[in-house]
Structure 1
Amino acid sequence: MKILILGCGWLAESFAIDMIHQGHEVWASTTQNEKYHRLNANGIFSFIIDFDRENFPKRIELPAHFDVVLNSVPASQKNSLSVLENRFSNITCFLGRITWRKQIFLSSIGIYPDKDGLFVESYSDQAELSPKLLLAEQKMLRLTNTVIYRLGGLFGKNRIFAKYFCDRICTTGEQPANFVHIDDVVPLIVAALFNKLQWPVYNVVAPLHPKKKDVIYASAKKYGLALPIAFEPGVNFQKIVSGELLQTELRYQFILPDPLQF
């Protein structure tokens, strides 16, 4: 299998290494010289490209066809709509020079509003969806054979939830955790390669949703980290994002279904 990765961040790099170990051919883009050399050293055909550049390169030598494109270029909330419009227009232009059997675009459950409720993929009030994430998703869905994975809060490896609250005040402790572990995300991406999915958009979230406060206590104890200075009241909306659609369709059993295990 021939795989192209756009935006080879820490999740995509883990996926790439797994695919290399399974004997697949992997090409991957990065914006960093250090990562370019590391990827190449691991047997990945790496190339440097910045989809935000005004003088966007017109030509990079790639195979004409890929079995899979894993697109993990982010639609970051810190960027303006105009920057994201340019970024994903450049990606569309870049992908126009190749063909593929399936593209998986990694988005985020941050597209849903921060309010009480159970959120599933059919939620369609566009006025409440994040305009930045929605822009990116809509641009990618215009491309052929594309599936979107909306990832929950992603943890694993050096990403430990309690680390972000050491010796700080936590005001979100009563909110439900809509998290997922990288050890489940990578297999769910692999599963998408070998299964014909029925829908264009899926949430990728662990099935259990403990309070964030309890996840902090559990991960601080597990990894020997300091607790927050205090838990104080904040905006504690009860937002739960369901990943049941993908789990049911793939008949997938989560390796780490409970963020208390992360």
Structure 2
Amino acid sequence: MRYLILGCGWVGEYVAKLWLKEGHEVWASTTTKEKYHRLVADGIFVFEQNFDRQATIPTDLPKAFDFILVSIPATHKFTLEELRHRFLHVSLFLQGLTYRKVIFLSSIGIYPDVSKEIDEYTFPEEELQEKLLLAEKVMSQFPNRHIYRLGGLFGQSRIFAKYFQNKVCTTGGQLANFIHIEDVANLITQGFDGQLTQEIYNVVAPEHPLKKEVILASALKYGFELPSSFDDQDSFQKVVTGERLQNDLNYTFNYKSPLDF
């Protein structure tokens, strides 16, 4: 198989190494020289590409791929116009390629913070976060594409308790809508290989403990200091469900609960 990763961040680098181990050909874009050299050393075919500035396809890039993973972020710090420009370039780039399937990585941050059980179709478009929605709408124009809205990403060195050591935690009363990177990688790979019936999928672990419980569990497991205190604020009970993707792929999670991350 020949894979292309546009925007080879943490998730992209993780899955690229898995695909290489399986003997696949992997191409990836990056914006930094440091990552370029690291990915090349791993055996990935890498090209530098900043989609804020250009949409030109490198001359040595194959024009046909089996699967394309698009992990270009719709970052909050950019304006809507800047993001529109970025994803126009992504769109123009993809129009010059052929492929079997595309998966675009979005975020459950697209949903409002409310006390509710949320699936992919709970809210009308006007209630969704406009920057993430803009990116999804651009990607939706392509055939054979699916959008994965990822929950809070953890695993490897990303440990929830690490970010609250000796700090006041104000979000401990909220429910955790998290996902482990191992499960993300499996769900991406199986999504490419399998039959997906929906355009949009939430990608979250099935269990939703309180964030306070996750902090305490991961601090104990990995030896991090506890928060100086828990001062619950905005303790809405938001539960994002990922059953559609789990059912479509008949998937068994490696990490059903963030308490086990």
If the length of structure 2 is used for normalisation, what is the TM-score? Answer: 0.98
Aligned residue in 1 for 2:184: 185
Measured in 2, the distance between the counterparts of 1:149 and 1:59 equals 25
Aligned residue in 2 for 1:65: 64
Aligned residue in 1 for 2:147: 148
Q: Which amino acid aligns with 1:48?
A: E
Q: Aligned ranges for residues 79-158 of structure 1 at < 5 Å?
A: 79-158=78-157
Unaligned runs of 5+ in 1: none
Q: Cα deviations across residues 54-88 of structure 1 (Å, max 9, x unaligned)?
A: xx253412111100000001111222111110010
Asked if 1 retains the 8 angstrom alpha-carbon contact of 2:146 and 2:199, the reply is yes
Secondary structure of the corresponding residue to residue 100 of structure 2? strand
Aligned residue in 2 for 1:247: 246
Write out the 4+ residue segments of structure 1 that deviate beyond 6 Å after TM superposition: none
Unaligned runs of 5+ in 2: none
The alpha carbon displacement at 1:33 in A equals: 0.4
Secondary structure of the corresponding residue to residue 199 of structure 1? coil
Identical-pair percentage: 53
Q: Which amino acid aligns with 1:232?
A: D
Measured in 2, the distance between the counterparts of 1:79 and 1:206 equals 29
Measured in 1, the distance between the counterparts of 2:166 and 2:159 equals 15
Q: Aligned ranges for residues 1-262 of structure 1 at < 5 Å?
A: 1-53=1-53, 56=54, 58-61=56-59, 62-262=61-261
Secondary structure of the corresponding residue to residue 26 of structure 1? strand
Q: Which amino acid aligns with 2:96?
A: R
Q: Which amino acid aligns with 2:146?
A: V
- The 10-residue stretch of structure 1 (123-132 or 136-145) with the greater mean CA deviation from structure 2: 123-132
Secondary structure of the corresponding residue to residue 70 of structure 1? strand
Measured in 1, the distance between the counterparts of 2:152 and 2:225 equals 21
Q: Cα deviations across residues 25-61 of structure 1 (Å, max 9, x unaligned)?
A: 00000001011011111110000010112xx253412
> What RMSD over aligned residues (CA atoms) do the two structures have, in Å?
0.9
Measured in 1, the distance between the counterparts of 2:123 and 2:134 equals 14
The alpha carbon displacement at 1:200 in A equals: 0.3
